[in-house]
Amino acid sequence: MQLDPQMIAVMKKRAVLASRPDDPAALPIEAVRKAYNAERAWWNAIKPEMGSVSELAVTGPVRDIPIRIYCPQDADEGPTLLYLHGGGWVVGNLDTHDRVMRLLAEFSGARVVGVDYALAPEYRFPVAINEALAVINWLRVQGEDHGLDASRLGLGGDSAGANMAVAATQLCHQQNAGMIQFLLLYYGTYGLTESQSWQQYGNAEYEFTPEESEFYLASYLASDQDKTDSRFKVLSGNIDLLPMAFIGAAECDPLRDDSIALHKAMQAAGRQAILKIYPGVLHSFIHYSRMLDKATEALRDGASALKTALTAP
């Protein structure tokens, strides 16, 4: 497939900002994170002003969980979006996804709550999912004290964060049906082990290799049995428990077919879902809105779907 010219320019810029390790498994984990954070810093340097940004910690199952609350300017009584960042469960934090969360808040009018969940391999599956559940419960009990409307709650994420968002929703709705009313998902991994998109785009040319995928999975999962756990392989979970969703995918991404599979599963279960595949872009493309128009388009599309689903008539 032909890459979008702006995507090619992004790839060149990324190469200048920081070198990508050929084999992240050969490096200390802190070196992998340092390279990721350095490359992401430039993309987050320019960002929209918020009405307020506040930080606090939520008591979790193994530690206190840092969260960041973005309230857009001129915000009315808008809905709440809990956002789980991507990064293969190994890298990423609130700063690496700061611009993404600010733009989602600005475009949707929602208050966005970013979760700095525990990273692997220090904390392996399912600790991060349990932390997401802890923050959801905190929102239900104490969110109103912080201006957060838990009665209109969406859960979102990109890549690994999208995987966790689906898993956390399925688990949450086993106990509190309807607690989460919307899913905002970008290029997640949902449980396919083989796909046409992996065969076509799983290589260095498209900046996502099987070796990288294996590194992230080996860091996150504690055993081979975890690969079939429905908290990871969410397509094997109860799709009936999912609310309406916006599913954004990148055309030139090994994980593209995961998004297509989730959309088909939701349709088969009678669940409402929008799938949009953005042509000529790679995995992680929503980060690059400083140079890539389709990143802004995808964030606007997701924010619009969120606003339509959760804004009171």
Which residues form the catalytic set?
Answer: 159, 253, 283
Check if the beta carbon of residue 124 is closer than 8 Å to that of residue 311.
no
Find out whether 83 and 97 touch, Cβ atoms under 8 Å.
yes
Burial class (CB in 10 A: 0-12, 13-18, 19+), 193: exposed
Helix ranges (DSSP H) in the chain:
5-17, 29-43, 98-108, 127-142, 160-175, 196-201, 210-220, 256-268, 293-310
Which position has the token pair 């709705």? 173
Strand 182-186: give its sheet, edge to edge.
Answer: 52-59, 64-71, 111-115, 80-84, 153-158, 182-186, 244-250, 273-278
Contact 172, 133 (CB under 8 A): yes
Burial of 224 (0-12, 13-18, 19+ CB in 10 A): exposed
Joined tokens for residue 105: 């808040």
Can you tell me the distance from the alpha carbon of 157 to that of 109, in angstroms, rounded to the nearest whole number?
17
